[in-house]
DNA sequence: TAATGATCATCT
DNA sequence: AGATGATCATTA
């Protein structure tokens, strides 16, 4: 049986090798082999699958606002996909600053820093199957191509402009072609102080950047179309 | 408190 | 069924 590595991968190649080794196993099998207690419901353990994958790929646990494999510049994302290869959920990228710093560009943004290089791990989910049966699919490193980068940049600039000008309250998830901003908090009752368009202090629900499922579906399918 | 890992629940 | 808004656990 397979077991988690004792140290983080030192190169992209090592990371890809680790990803290859867990391909084909289910989340339940990996958790069991690692001696991790398997929760009954995902509702109270939404990050469980992601954390198991982190364990097997040698990612450092933690909540730092930097890529998972900082020394490699690689961010790790698990993505639940249907048996047809479509993303089932949107993908959280990072917290959206309610008051972005002026002069930060897309290229220097926290968001792009995380999306420069992503190791996508598809988790194949069949309908009505328990989530522990999700199968680890073939992982691959993705770097946004010219078109993808331009789409991300457009959306980021549009959304950041709204934040910069204090129109946070006008934001909703329908904005953005490939990116969107949605609530990211323990509940809608959680509030954070910021300023509105007139510079008046207001309280709003914290937000995060998410990649739309249609966008991540294309990324995952590229792997199978181009090899 | 604010960042990480995300999925849940509801509405259209 | 897809999209939007709400929510859950954990760590520093």
Q: Are A195 and A75 in contact (CB under 8 A)?
A: no
**Cβ of A39 less than 7 A from strand B:** no
**Helix, strand, coil share (%) of chain A residues, nearest 5:** 35, 20, 45
| Cα–chain center distance at A61 | 15
Domain ranges for chain A, please list them: 12-220
Share of chain A above pLDDT 90, in %: 85
Task: Please name the nucleotide lying closest to A97, CA to C1'.
Answer: B2
A68 touches strand B (CB under 7 A): yes
Confidence band, pLDDT 50/70/90 cuts, at residue A206: very high
| pTM given for the model | 0.95
For strand B, which nucleotides have at least one atom less than 7 Å from a protein CB?
A: 2-9
Strand C: which positions are within 7 A of a protein CB?
A: 2-12
CA-to-C1' distance for A138 and B9, Å? 30
User: Does the pLDDT at position A105 exceed 80?
Assistant: yes
pLDDT digits (tens, 9 = 90+) for A8-31: 999 999 999 999 999 999 999 999
* Mean pLDDT for the stretch of residues A161-186: 94
Q: Look at the block and give the residue holding tokens 């901003």.
A: A181
Task: Choose the weakest-confidence range: A33-37, A101-105, A172-176, A221-225.
Answer: A221-225
Please write the tens of the pLDDT for every residue from A106-157.
Answer: 999 999 999 999 999 999 998 778 899 999 999 999 999 999 999 999 999 9
* Alpha-carbon separation of residue A173 from A66, A83, A94, A198 (angstroms): 24, 27, 15, 23
- Distance in Å, residue A174 CA to nucleotide C10 C1': 30
Contact (Cβ atoms closer than 8 angstroms) between residue A90 and residue A181? no
CATH code, A12-220: 3.40.600.10
Q: Judge whether residue A226 has pLDDT over 70.
A: no
Quick one: tokens of A111? 């968001």
Residue at shortest CA–C1' distance from C12: A63
Contact A176, A158 (CB under 8 A): yes
CA distances in angstroms from A200 to A183, A188, A218, A223, listed in the order given: 21, 21, 42, 48
Q: Specify the pLDDT at position A165.
A: 93
């Amino acid at each position: 049986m397979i077991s988690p590595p004792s140290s983080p991968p030192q190169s992209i190649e090592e990371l890809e090798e680790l990803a290859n080794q867990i391909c084909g196993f289910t989340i339940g099998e990996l958790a069991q082999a690692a001696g991790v207690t398997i929760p009954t419901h995902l509702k109270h353990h939404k990050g469980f699958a992601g954390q198991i994958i982190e364990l097997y790929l040698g990612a450092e646990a933690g909540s730092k606002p930097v890529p998972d494999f900082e020394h490699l510049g690689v961010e790790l994302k698990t993505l639940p996909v249907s048996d047809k290869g479509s993303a089932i959920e949107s993908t959280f990228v990072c917290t959206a600053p309610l008051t972005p710093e002026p002069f930060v560009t897309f290229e220097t943004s926290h968001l792009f820093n995380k999306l420069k290089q992503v190791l996508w791990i598809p988790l194949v989910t069949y309908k009505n199957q328990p989530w522990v049966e999700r199968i680890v699919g073939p992982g691959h490193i993705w770097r946004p191509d010219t078109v993808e980068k331009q789409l991300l940049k457009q959306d980021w600039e549009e959304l950041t402009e709204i934040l910069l000008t204090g129109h946070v309250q006008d934001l909703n998830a329908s904005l953005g072609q490939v990116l969107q901003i949605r609530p990211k908090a323990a509940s809608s009752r959680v509030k954070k102080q910021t300023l509105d368009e007139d510079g008046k202090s207001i309280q709003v629900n914290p937000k995060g950047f998410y990649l739309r499922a249609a966008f991540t579906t294309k990324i995952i399918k590229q792997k199978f179309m181009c090899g």
